[in-house]
Structure 1
Amino acid sequence: MSEGPVRQYQVKTIASLERGLRVLRALQEMRAASLHDLHQVTGIPKATLIRILHTCGREGLVWQRLADGAFVASLQPRRAPHDDAEWLGELASPALEELCERVMWPSVLTVPRLDYMETIDTNSPKAYFDEVVPVAPIGFRSHMLLGASGRAYIAFCAEEEREAVLRRLREHDAPGNAHAHDPAWLRRLVTTTRSRGYSVRAPEYDFDGRNSIAVPIRLHGEVLGCVNVTWRRTVMSAQEVARRHLNDLQAAVRRIEERAAGATPQRLG
């Protein structure tokens, strides 16, 4: 049974609180918004908006996406189930930023869809020479058997889940999907990836001049998503990047897993 409206008291409202709530409602309606978007929609001066967003951020009500700087209403108060991409992006954001500070190259957070991996957050490179080769944008679909993130997911997900993905890939004649019909190739992929603890993008999957290594985010036996480190292919080999930065990448993933475990003590829904 829902509660009725708040009793009408003969008191003044709090103007600053009203402005803050107006911003939160706008974010909930738009899902994500820039500072300029919020100014246009609410009419609140940008200086005031910055104070409101800073205050809401400190209280865990708003967070800022790394990839494009957009502000997003927090999902944590309603404790969304851990297959919610925005929820995972919010949890992962601090770890991704710290990882980029340590490694200098950008990283990408992806989640599994039916038969591909979708980019849900990225960060900008700190190395000046890496900026000339842009990272794939939010919403980008990477190949499940050729991309580093897809390979990490396939190697570490449950067997039934893996077979369901492979069935879908076998139904479509697309580049890279032929591997789904090759049990020996698939066994080598899974065994090799698990033994070294990370995956590597396929050499032939060169659509952007970059290379990547990836590690899965796991919780309660499930792969929620993957985090990669990506760099210009001509700068360094995957083996050298793994030697230098695999520990940093794995530490970032552990931090995300710890935050996810703390936010969802048990699977919901």
Structure 2
Amino acid sequence: MDYSKEHIKSLAKGLGVVIAVNELAPARVSSLVEQTGLPKPTLIRILNTLVAEGFVENRPRGEGGGYAPTPKVRLLASAFAEGTLLAQAAQPVLNNLCEETKWPADLLVRDGLSMVIEASNRLVAPIRLKRFEQKRFPLINSSSGLALLAYLPKKECREVLTSVLAHGVPNGQSPVREEQVAGWIEETKKAGYASWEYDAPIQGTRVYSLPVVDRGRPIAVLTLVTLRDVLSQTKFETDLLPFFSEAAAEIAKRVSR
């Protein structure tokens, strides 16, 4: 009898449950059944295995109950970062960053006239927010784009900005003037970081961004995804910005080794 297909199916089911627990934590069995489509007995067996192996914890009723991922899930998250050397260098830093800030963070790189997510700690961040539907963000009208533009050499920044404005902004976004973007860039330089607010995926989503600078050039942008009504800008600057800046510097250090 060929067991290979059965083994693959079992692994796929287990990984699906890990993903569901991450998204729904603290997750009830009923919610996990609905999310995964697995029969309840099968789901319970998988959960018991994940608990036994230390990837998931079954919280006591006094703590609200439900299943939640443990820090051991980082081992899985790190495995997904093998796409590029930059992602490999950044992933451990991102995972450590969420211990200090609790909020999810992403690392983005420039791809043409867009910024693209290269690595993330969303699988292990204690605070779980609904993800953006897209993984690409415009160079203007985004926190990551402004952070990159602000730290490019002036001539290169002007050239990129001219190209972006010539192509126009994506559908659904308000048109902007060069003077307006220049003002945002100056504000970013003055503050030392960029910020941008979004009405989706959650109204009041506020993203902070810092460039990862190597040899005087921004090679990537580190972003922290927060909620405006939960974390004020003043609180971000006093409590989280030091950790955020340290993480950006550490990524640059690892890349330049």
* Unaligned segments of structure 2, at least 5 residues: 1-9, 13-72
Q: 1:147 to 1:238 in 2, by over 3 A?
A: farther
- State the SS of the aligned residue for 2:156: helix
How many angstroms apart in 1 are the aligned matches of 2:84 and 2:156? 22
Give me the CA root mean square deviation: 2.9
Pairing of 1:202-213 with structure 2 (within 5 A)? 203=197, 205-209=198-202, 210-213=205-208
Cα offsets for 1:59-84 (capped at 9, x unmatched): xxxxxx9697373696xxxxxxxxxx
Q: 1:36 to 1:161 in 2, by over 3 A?
A: farther
Instruction: Find out whether 1:160 has 2:158 as its counterpart.
Output: no
- State the SS of the aligned residue for 1:69: helix
- What residue number does 2:217 align with? 222
The answer on whether the counterparts of 2:105 and 2:224 sit within 8 Å (CA) in structure 1 is: yes
- State the SS of the aligned residue for 2:131: coil
- What residue number does 2:175 align with? 178
Cα offsets for 1:38-95 (capped at 9, x unmatched): xxxxxxxxxxxxxxxxxxxxxxxxxxx9697373696xxxxxxxxxx72111111111
TM-score when normalising by structure 1: 0.60
Pairing of 1:1-269 with structure 2 (within 5 A)? 36=11, 69=77, 71=79, 86-124=84-122, 126-127=125-126, 130-131=127-128, 133-136=129-132, 140-170=135-165, 171-174=167-170, 175-176=172-173, 178-179=175-176, 181-183=177-179, 185-201=180-196, 203=197, 205-209=198-202, 210-262=205-257
Q: Which runs of 4+ in 1 moved over 4 A?
A: 65-68
The answer on whether the counterparts of 2:81 and 2:87 sit within 8 Å (CA) in structure 1 is: no
How many angstroms apart in 2 are the aligned matches of 1:36 and 1:200? 40
Q: Match for 2:98: what amino acid? A: C
Cα offsets for 1:104-140 (capped at 9, x unmatched): 111111001111110111113644xx42x32337x70
* Unaligned segments of structure 1, at least 5 residues: 1-34, 38-64, 75-84, 263-269
The answer on whether the counterparts of 1:213 and 1:242 sit within 8 Å (CA) in structure 2 is: no
TM-score when normalising by structure 2: 0.63
Paired positions, count: 184
